[in-house]
Copies of this chain bind each other. A is one copy, B any other.
Amino acid sequence: MTARKRERITTIINTLLLENAASIQELAKRLSVSEMTVRRDLNILAKDNIVRLMHGAAVLNPGSRPDRRQYAITQQEALNAEEKMLIGQKAASILEQNDIIIIDSGSTTDYLAKAIPYDMPLTVLCFALNILIEIHRKKGCSLTFAGGIFHKNTLMFESPEGVELIRRYRATKAFLSASGIMSRLGVTCSTQYEIESKKASMNSALSKILLADSSKFGRILSAYFADLKDFDTIITDSGIPEEYRKIIDNLGIDLIIV
């Protein structure tokens, strides 16, 4: 990303912080670029969940914290975003009416939350702000939220009481996310505080579904929370290494590739 582009995006964010929303016309004029360029900038912000795009307008997402973000989106990251969206949508497609579900924090699970049909009757438990904001708008969803201390970087809330609330809960499906998946050392995430909520979610759910794009396979992060075999289903993209296809198959886990 060029300095010029980054500056423009910063200006857009500042404008939105001030005015809640702006039309694409307006922004193009103010920035002295074409509308197409503004659109492309906004698409980047939309992928990062900072703005919501509507016809003709960009609206600041109430669940975003734009001032902390870096906008260096590489081709790789952009590609992953696309796959994450497909994974989230596939996850939404396996939902059944009146399912009771737990949705983990994370960007992939955010796409799942977004993809849930507006009127579908569901009971949902979550513990991250972005998921909360997506779900509370859905007419069909009864919502339970496990609170705690707010972690700005992951948008997650965490506390012993929150974990206890998850333990007391029962769900038909739990949708988990991970940052690292390795056959021998298990499934990991980046921070220790996430672990207990994830473990509790898995223990409270009948079916455990792991959502992870293919870049996660073979990676290790510091916080271990489950073994691969603990999952019933894994949803990922076609980039998954052949090696892991076999491992997952041997474990009898349902592998869904989008």
Contact = CB atoms under 8 A, between A and B. Distances in A.
Interface string A35-58: 000000000000000001011110
A137 interface: yes
Nearest to A163: B161
A253 B168 CA distance: 41
Interface in A142-170: 142-150, 157, 159, 161-162, 164-165, 168
A57 B56 contact: yes
A89 to B, nearest CB: 19
Given A29-B118, A62-B18, A150 B139 contact: no
Interface string A1-41: 00000000000000000111101001001100000000000
Nearest to A66: B137
Identical chains in the assembly: 2
B168 A161 contact: yes
Contact of A150 (B55, B57, B145, B165): B145
Contact of A148 (B55, B67, B136, B165): B165
Contacts of A19: 62, 133, 137
28 contacts: A19-B133, A19-B137, A20-B21, A20-B62, A21-B54, A21-B57, A23-B55, A30-B139, A55-B55, A55-B57, A56-B56, A56-B57, A59-B59, A62-B133, A63-B133, A63-B136, A65-B136, A133-B133, A143-B150, A144-B148, A145-B147, A145-B150, A146-B161, A159-B165, A161-B164, A161-B168, A162-B165, A164-B164
